[in-house]
Structure 1
Amino acid sequence: MAHIREGIDEEKKACFTLDDQGVLWFKNCLVVPKDPELRKRILDEAHTSMFTMHPGSNKMYQDLKQKFWWTRMKREIAKYVSECDVCQKNKSGSPKACRNASATNNSNLEMGRCAHGLHCWIASHPEGACVLTYSTKWDECLPLAEFAYNNSYQKSLEMAPFEALYGRRCRTPLNWSEQGERGTFGPNLVKQAEEQVKLIHGNLKRAQSRQKSYSDKRRRQLMLEGGDHVYLRVSPMKGVHRFGVKGKLAPRYVGPFKITERCGVVAYWLELPPHLAAVHDVFHVSQLKKCLRVPKETGI
């Protein structure tokens, strides 16, 4: 114990306790001795297990720090994840946005977003959500991927979705000491639920504010006036239905079209050709790109 406490400030030293069985604890976390093999087994279980499926270093640290502690644990976890061969082969970094992002008010949405295996939309970017070592058995791994997502730390909630719904983590080999069903009924159960909702509301608002600050740093004001010509961005699906643009390799912008008038702060009226009379002619500035040189023949 004296060896572990060396080099630690006095405030942290007071958090160490020794139980009746001689086990050393740091607050409520088990202190892991300086045994490379033991620490590697813990890291392997938290990263490559079928119940975790290769989380990132931050999620892995947030999950492990609930139960274990050792000096420079976060740095060691980051090094372990960065050297993982499966992660290096299958994970890609977050793509840089080419347009300004707009924050959406998600404080009124479901508090604990748990996945149930049903996809509501198709992701449009190649960032991997999980990594499967045996890609040919992906259908057998879907329940495990669902469990790993619901029981891992989420930055916006500042807890796992399972914990947000039930007030505790689900049992895993690393969290086997988690208690089962709690005997809370009546007014106490309602009070706990209300406190949990308030906590998650606050966490979501902080996450929204943080993401907005990231977006505002890269935000550029697009200055447009009446008479300017702009290109209109269309999604692959809407481009087929509204503008007749077909094919995966079709241009993502149509036009150019002339701006007739500004509508509010971030919207503009466009002068659309007669064959697009059924299309609403007011568009948000995020869908527009200024035309620097108007071609002789304008239109789609």
Structure 2
Amino acid sequence: MLRACALTYSTKWDECLPLAEFAYNNGYRRAWKWLLSRLYMVEDVEHPSTRERIIFGPDLVTQAEEQVKLMHSNLKRAQSRQKSYSDKRRRPLVFEIDDHVYLRVSPMKGVHRFGVKGKLAPRYVGPFKITEKCGPVAYRLELPPYLVAVHDVFHVSQLKKCLRVPEEAVDTSQIQIEPDLTYEEHPIKILDQKQRATRRKAINFYKVQWSNHSEEEATWEQEEYLQTKYPGFLLTTTNEYV
């Protein structure tokens, strides 16, 4: 929102920041069907016209109201512009009941420091039959018993039409899919290695191919991470983790 107001109020930020905050907090959120201010507060945000007219006079109040309206207008214009950019990259994807689709899952390469998981390129499992249309962009799938812990309604972005078996499909008998549609992969081969020197030490990196992924999708991993997560992998003569 501040970006939308930068040209108009570039030299008067000390005066206009409170008004920008008011315009943002008092804006209607379409997804929530509610004002942001009323979502967190019991009472509505006080409008400048109800608190400043007696102290500062009608001219300043009118100016403040016009600035708030301008900020709302700039915000709507910016939102519309961003939406148009996003719509250019989207295509309508509609399925029918009894259609078969693949479900996207996210392979993970273990847990990194600070609990952050490293994602690999998405893969697909299935195909599964569509049993119900739950709104314009959500579908219910007929899932097998091994996915009983997964909720059976998915957004259309998680689905891929079953025209042929995609190259990204994985054998579900070889993986354990979690309720959040993730599964963990393991390294199978080292394709390359390099060393990066810092002021204190040299750090070794290895280009690793992961299970269910091609050599083109290999990732660079630190030696310390591989030794901790997959002990013995770097010591194998064939560079294949068993």
Normalising by the residue count of structure 1, what TM-score does the alignment of the two structures yield? 0.33
Q: TM-score if structure 2 supplies the norm length?
A: 0.39
